[in-house]
Amino acid sequence: MKLHSSLGPNPRLARMFLMEKGLVEGTDFERVHYDIITGENRSSADYTAKNPLGTTPTLELDDGTCLTESWPICEFIEEHYPTPNLFGQTALERAEVRKWVRLFDQEVVVPMTMGFRAGAGRAMFEPRMAVVSPEAGAELSAMADAKWRWFDAALGDKDFFALGRFTFADLIVFCFANFGFTVGWKLPEGTDNLARFIALHNQRPSAAIWQQSE
């Protein structure tokens, strides 16, 4: 299989997930990199034939089937490579993990992403897609920061968000925080629990991708 990838939180989320599963790039899967700064992912006819939206990542299976969106890609990998388990072993555990992922995706990822596109990332994104006004972007970023503080309180003194062990819920929080750091964002004040959480999981071997350049 091939992982069509690029710089960004979602491609790196998929890459970290594969690494956490013990799958090795170049052996278990091939990674095809796209330069999103130049818009290669949207200008390549070969890639947009696989994913018409031009977003990354895309997982291309050996039979040519292409899966898009990082969360479904990771769930697909989980079903085919169930060990180590990262989504939960029972229906109840899976519901608990998905609850945290859904909350984070809706309450942090959406406003944080839209705020970044309208603010610090405006020069890159405005020519390519609709973005909200700078004023709305600032409001969205503030909303995301408030939810980061909510997640900090929910984490408390724990090392994990769900099941008492590392799961996809932890991975998505970790990846979006680390991507924020790469574009000059900082954790909002009052999030010492999240700072500790990120420092802890930065020690995972899979986290080494955040020190790489793409």
Q: Please state, in angstroms and rounded to a whole number, the distance separating the CA atoms of residues 77 and 92.
A: 20
- pTM (2 d.p.): 0.94
**pLDDT tens figures, 67-103:** 999 999 999 999 999 999 999 999 999 999 999 999 9
CB 43 within 8 A of CB 202: no
Strand partners of residue 60: 2, 66
Domain with CATH 3.40.30.10 in the chain: 2-80
Distances in Å between the alpha carbon of 67 and those of 39, 157, 177? 20, 37, 25
CA dihedral 182, 183, 189, 193 (to 10 degrees): -30
> Which CATH superfamily hosts domain 2-80?
Glutaredoxin (3.40.30.10)
Q: List the CATH code of the domain at 91-204.
A: 1.20.1050.10
Name the segment(s) of the chain with CATH classification 1.20.1050.10: 91-204
pLDDT in tens, 133-181: 999 999 999 999 999 999 999 999 999 999 999 999 999 999 999 999 9
